[in-house]
Amino acid sequence: MSATDPEELPRLFAERASAGDLAGLVDLYEAGATFLKPDGIAAAGAELQESLEQLLAMSPRITSRGSHAVVVGDIALMSGSWHMTFGISGDSTGFDGSSTEVARRQGDGTWRYVIDDPGSRIGSPVANVAAPVARIPFEQLVYEQDGPVARIRLSRPERRNALSIQLSEELMAVLERVRVSQTLKVLVIEGAGETFCSGDDITEMAAWGNANDIVRRVRGYQRMADTLADLDKVTIAAVDGFAVGGGLEITMACDFVVATRRAKWGMPEVDVGITPGWGGTTRMARLIGRRMTKEINLLGALHPASRAAELGLWNRVVDDHRLQAEVDALIRVLLSKNQQAVRQLKFITDRGVEADLHTAQGFRGPLGRTYRCSQWRLADRRRRPGQRRPQLRGRR
């Protein structure tokens, strides 16, 4: 059965994927169609079929929750939502998602996919045309998404990007957007105006409210830092200028910190009679130890970027004009890795340091092999009788 209306394509895809019908799925795409994989890499031809095979190897059950198409001549721009459940080793896990597709009317009047992108970016229905950068408007930050990479730029340069009530709420909202994304792999956080973040905007603290309101806001900051730290994406803080107080706490919730030589950092809360609320003592102690954490917090001094690297608080320090280039180079390396292994390594490491050695090793083994076993299932389906199992070097 072929789609006589473009809005039938998502339903047919869901039905055929749930039935394990590889040939039926391939038939939904025209020759030369492009499928943007979760790692942001375009697949076409044999690679497109391989991507569909990998999907079917996970025993998906997909329910289409509706689609909308705008038809212009023989081209349809489509968006839809769906729910997908995977069945692996008797377990069932699922998630909701959305996608954007471009379909084209064929010579026989039926419709087939030209571009299939679960990243919700509408591209041109012409092969080899780069998709535009998606920019979501906020007032005090800038959010951009380009393929598998998202960037958050704190944008209050007149206040050294201090965390106002509004900026904090916008940051919480955009982190939730990143959290639910199935296509993003890397998140970069940076600041506008040659500074990273100077922490809470103390001029607004009087507006925080009564004691309970203050506690609720601090706990909101803690949830924000926890959300950032728990993302299944690799997070990079690109630090220039000042990263103090809450700004430094943001860096400590990231996986990588790359800073310019002129960057300065510290925890000056002691000088205004308050204490850090969302990582300045807790995360810092786990990163550099109890004794150094006391020194940083009790003295409240500013330190050069080089000392953060020496202590292990930050990863590396680069020449001032090289910050963007070094971050981009790091992103390229990260995207070249096996993405499921990256996600699991991050989770295992973060959870392992919070547990005793034997507990950490207890869940590391089974989790570390889950993805490999699913890939073996796929390889077993492909190999001929008597053929040895191939080496697996996937980057997905």
158 is catalytic: no
3-state secondary structure the chain: CCECCHHHHHHHHHHHHHCCCHHHHHCCEEEEEEEECCCCCEEECHHHHHHHHHHHHCCEEEEEEEEEEEEECCEEEEEEEEEEEEEECCEEEEEEEEEEEEEEECCCCCEEEEEEECCCCCCCCCCCCCCCCEEECCCCEEEEEECCEEEEEECCHHHCCCECHHHHHHHHHHHHHHHHCCCCCEEEEEECCCCCECCECHHHHHHHCCHHHHHHHHHHHHHHHHHHHHCCCEEEEEECCEEECHHHHHHHCCCEEEEECCCEEECHHHHHCCCCCCCCCHHHHHHHCHHHHHHHHHHCCCEEHHHHHHHCCCCEEECHHHHHHHHHHHHHHHHCCCHHHHHHHHHHHHHHCCCCHHHHHHHHHHHHHHHHHHHHHHHHHHCCCCCCCCCCCCCC
Q: Tokens for 202?
A: 């103390």
30 assigned to active site: no
Catalytic choice (158, 269, 295, 326): 269
- How far is the C-alpha of 234 from the C-alpha of 151, rounded, in Å? 12
- Catalytic annotation, pick one of 7, 101, 170, 249: 249
Q: Active-site positions? A: 249, 269
